[in-house]
Amino acid sequence: MCGFAGLFGSTPQSEADLSAAAGRMAETIVHRGPDDAGTWCAATCGVAFGFRRLSIIDLSPLGHQPMSSASGRFTIVFNGEIYNFPDLRREVEGRGARFRGHSDTEVLLAAFEEWGIRESLRRVVGMFAMAVWDNADRSLTLIRDRLGKKPLFVYHQPGLVTFGSELKVLAAGPAFDRTLDRDALSLYLRYLYVPAPRSIYRAVTKIPAGHLLTIRDPRAPLPDTTPYWTLDEAARAGLANPFGGSDVEAVDALDSLLRDAVQSRMIADVPLGALLSGGVDSSAVVALMQETASRPVRTYTVGFDDPVHNEAAHARAVASHLGTDHTELTLSGEDALALVPRLPTMFDEPLADPSQIPTFLVSQLARRHVTVALVGDGGDELFAGYNRYAYGLRSLGRIAALPPVLRRAAAAGINALGPGSWDRLYSPLSALLPGANRYRLVGEKLHKLAAVMDAPTEAEGYRSLLSAWQHPETLVGGEDLEDDTLRILRDAWPQRLLDRMMLADQRSYLPDDLLAKVDRASMAISLEVRAPLLDHRVVEFAWRLPSEMKLRDGVSKWILRQVLYRRVPQPLIDRPKTGFSVPLDRWLRGPLRTWSEDLLATMSSLPFVRPEPAMKAWREMLAQRRPAGPALWALLTFLDWQAHWKAT
């Protein structure tokens, strides 16, 4: 895992000046690659690359980047891993290729020489972002992996293109326009992240997952990106060719795919471990790792001093059963407060998923011992794991069919009590229910139900479950945007609501929130994170599975659970879903209150936000009348980010 930077300009510069510019840009992301650095340029073409290396495969100088192909046609900077590079190497060696080292980068370049860029991308299995200079046709190609695990930002002004692994790379380039994209800010306040291809800056775009961008003239407007693989195509192919075997055959097929995905991600020339929450996804990954490993797998988890949000005991029980070498860390609100000042530099595009804090801290814990860690990300999106999927299927259509006056009255009735009051009312009933039927944070869930009841359509009802600010336009002005998520939910295809919900999450929430969070948090501490459940072959198989193999009788991730039950006793796993959550409202009312109020006081001097709705939400959160923690965290994170990066 590494980081890169680069520029492609029309203004003549010397080789020394180009190399120096690329080197300065790359120095901003030393955390992504503390082991080695390099630059390359073609001054006559105005292109230069800078690179920071975190050595994982081939630790020798033969893995150094930027790297050129044997003929000199292609030069690459590459962030990520190609997991099937041993197979590709054997194939191109059979066609006459010869190698100096054993890095996946050298294999990738040989594949480009043999098959070209686009065809090679169809053959690789991996996570990556890359910039490739083709000296034969004087073109720059920027590429992002199928699921968007690795980031790639592009800045353009007439005569200059800069690109890199993080926004801070572009800010350190020869020129940079810090003008905000107000629509992107509105989407961020709704979803807690900025959906691709937008970025928080008007002049910057993100390469979408599974796309490439080829640039021949930096003076011209940026061409459109083109896909080499898309989730829509995977979904269409899978739904058109559903799996026709029995339950047992389906579980066997998924088991085999996951074993291969996990084993291929355990290849490394450095120490390796796993982040374990004790939930279905990470437990399945660790169980499959332990089957393959010759010694106990190193596992890491974080817990909280708030018992409502603490799942460390579940992770500990799974680790004990599997026999892993387990390490645990307990967090407090003070730990969060200590990390908050680092967030604007770590997340140089604002991202307000509050689990960014435990994600960084568990990455930091793991990095004491390992350089690579496997995770369970992707299981919820692929196998219908979120509570909102089951809830949506049960309720959205029924709610949307009710007369608006009844829905509004019911919403008002729910909102009349704060979430804490609902929790106290529910507590005596909870004690009478079986463990699997008990719910956490009932008050928050009821307030989400109230937001659904206020929504005019089924699609907007589901979007309300995803929204921190239900109406971000009241904060930043403008209109309610019809974003990509809403378009998917409104579309006639896929026909089933569950499929539309999962497709919307896979296309936006997964790459732009979850994977971005994990990338920034882990790479801030120089830890490479690998997600075997998001092997694209697993994704394609998941789309072939009938809905009842994902969500059956109210049980989420049914098929993934069956894979896990072969290795871990069912009672260790079956419990209400928690997720990697944090006690955000309590933190904001407690150790983060002074920080929060200082930031809120700056709103009157900024043209980006209107203070009145924000202060109303703050007062309601303090009085525990409204679960506004995520919405306020999004706003506060943005205000802190803006103060650091001086966006205009």
Judge whether 448 lies within some domain: no
Looking up residue 20, the CATH number of its domain turns out to be 3.60.20.10
Same domain, residue pair 106 and 251? no
d(C-alpha 324, C-alpha 288), whole Å: 12
Domain edge (last residue) among 183, 209, 229: 229
CA distance 447 to 630: 13
Residues sharing a CB contact under 8 Å with residue 562, sequence separation 6 or more, in sequence order? 247, 251
pLDDT score of 582: 72
Last residue of a domain, one of 229, 254, 284: 229
> Is 228:142 a contact under the CB 8 Å cutoff?
no
Identify the pLDDT of residue 1: 65
The span from the CA of 180 to the CA of 197, in Å, is 15
Averaged pLDDT in 10-residue chunks for the chain of 648 residues: 94 94 98 96 97 91 94 97 96 93 95 97 97 97 98 98 98 97 96 97 98 98 97 98 97 98 95 95 98 95 72 92 95 80 96 93 96 97 94 81 73 66 61 52 66 81 92 90 92 95 97 98 97 98 98 94 97 72 82 93 93 94 86 97 96
Contact between residue 8 and residue 22 where contact means Cβ atoms under 8 Å apart: no
Q: Tell me: do 134 and 278 sit in the same domain.
A: no
CA–CA separation, 550 and 399 (whole Å):
24
Alpha-helical segments (H) within 38-116? 85-94, 104-115
- Domain of 74 in residue numbering reads as 2-229
pLDDT at 436: 46
Amino acid at 278: G
Q: Given 524, 542, 573, which residue is the final one in a domain?
A: 573
**In Å, how far from its chain's centre is CA 528?**
14
Q: Cα separation of 642 and 145, whole Å?
A: 29
* Distance, CA of 469 to CA of 492 (rounded, Å): 27
Rounded to 5 degrees, φ, ψ at 81 are -140, 140
Residues 224, 322 within the same domain: no
Residue 58: its pLDDT value, please? 85
Q: Are residues 167 and 214 located together in one domain of the fold?
A: yes
pTM of the model: 0.93
Residue 14's pLDDT is what? 94
Strand ranges of the sheet holding 528-530, from the earlier edge strand across to the other edge: 325-331, 298-304, 272-275, 372-374, 528-530
Which pair of tokens denotes residue 494? Answer: 């896929």
pLDDT at 438: 53
Residue 177, strand partner residues: none
pLDDT at position 440, please? 57
